[in-house]
A and B are shown apart, each in its own frame.
Chain A
Amino acid sequence: MTTTLDTKGMNCPLPILKAKKAIKGLDDGETLQVLSTDPGSVKDFEAFCRSTGNSLLESSEADGVFTYMIKKGA
């Protein structure tokens, strides 16, 4: 099951804070899709996932919108 979190228009650190909150509500193995317009979020979501033991399955950009797929847990 994939949940989508729209953080478009939000700036650092809001996308990370909202993503953390959303991940909390997931079961291990479930995925969260995060949408962001913050260019700084690319490095931030990589660092966030590395430090919190979640998996960044995908990171892409189209028309100024960054999309991340995060799987809860390793």
Chain B
Amino acid sequence: MSAEGDNAKSMSIIVTKGTLDWAYPPFILATTAAAMDVKVTMFFTFYGLQLLKKNLDHLQISTLGNPAMEMPMMGMHMTMPNIMSAIPGVDAMCSTMMKNLIKKKGVASIPELREAAIESDVEMIGCQMTLDLFELDSKDLIDNITLGGAATYMENALKSDINLYI
């Protein structure tokens, strides 16, 4: 168990985004909190539910609407004009670049962080409504989760010391 005793602090995170870059903040905070003896609950809803799929190879970044994304390239920084994102293959190419950068800089991969979260008993709840809405199959999701709704999340949030929405 990551949390021990009655004095253990707790945190809940609502995970709403399903892109490669936005997958990081919730998983980094969840795993680090668990390492610091915090009991963590993550609630995956809407696009965030993508992060619970068994296979995470489909996670991508998008250059669209993100003028702050500066990719280091050949000794400079490159930003992508929005129109580039409309060209087929550009998001995939940028995602590959990002994955290479992640590896090169010794940053954990998302599957690696999710595995660490599971190992440290982070509780993961998938949103049943999102599953129904997008006609996703729970068989495509990892096994170590429960499915629930807003009330399931709220019960956790009400007794948590920290509640984050990412």
Query: What residues make up the interface of A, taking CB atoms closer than 8 Å to B?
Result: 9-14, 16-17, 19-20, 37-38, 48, 51-52
Contact B106–A13 (Cβ < 8 Å): no
With both chains docked as a complex, state the minimum distance between the C-beta of A51 and any C-beta of chain B, in angstroms: 5
Contact B36–A13 (Cβ < 8 Å): no
At the interface, yes or no: B35 with Cβ under 8 Å from chain A? yes
A19 to B35, CA, bound (A): 9
A25 to B156, CA, bound (A): 30
Residue of A nearest to B37 (CB): A52
Tell me how many residues of B have a C-beta within 8 Å of chain A: 12
User: 1/0 per residue B55-79: CB within 8 Å of A?
Assistant: 0000000000000000000000000
At the interface, yes or no: B98 with Cβ under 8 Å from chain A? no
Instruction: Count A-B pairs with CB separation below 8 Å.
Output: 37
Contact B37–A13 (Cβ < 8 Å): no
Contact B108–A14 (Cβ < 8 Å): yes
Contact of B106 among A9, A19, A20, A48 (CB under 8 A): A9
Which residues of B10-42 are within 8 A (CB) of A?
Answer: 28, 31-32, 35-37
At the interface, yes or no: B107 with Cβ under 8 Å from chain A? yes
A13 to B28, CA, bound (A): 6
A40 to B89, CA, bound (A): 35
Query: What residues make up the interface of B, taking CB atoms closer than 8 Å to A?
Result: 28, 31-32, 35-37, 105-108, 116, 120
Contact A16–B105 (Cβ < 8 Å): no
Contact A11–B105 (Cβ < 8 Å): yes
21 contacting pairs across A/B (C-beta < 8 A): A11-B105, A11-B106, A11-B108, A12-B107, A13-B32, A14-B106, A14-B108, A16-B32, A17-B31, A17-B32, A17-B35, A19-B35, A20-B35, A20-B36, A20-B120, A38-B106, A48-B35, A51-B36, A51-B37, A52-B35, A52-B36
Residues of A within 8 A of B105 (CB): 11
With both chains docked as a complex, state the minimum distance between the C-beta of A69 and any C-beta of chain B, in angstroms: 18
Residues of B within 8 A of A37 (CB): 106
Contact B36–A11 (Cβ < 8 Å): no
A19 to B32, CA, bound (A): 11
Across the A-B interface, give the 9 residue pairs with the lowest CB-CB distance, nearest first.
Answer: A20-B35, A11-B106, A13-B32, A11-B107, A9-B106, A10-B106, A51-B36, A13-B28, A14-B108
A9 to B105, CA, bound (A): 7
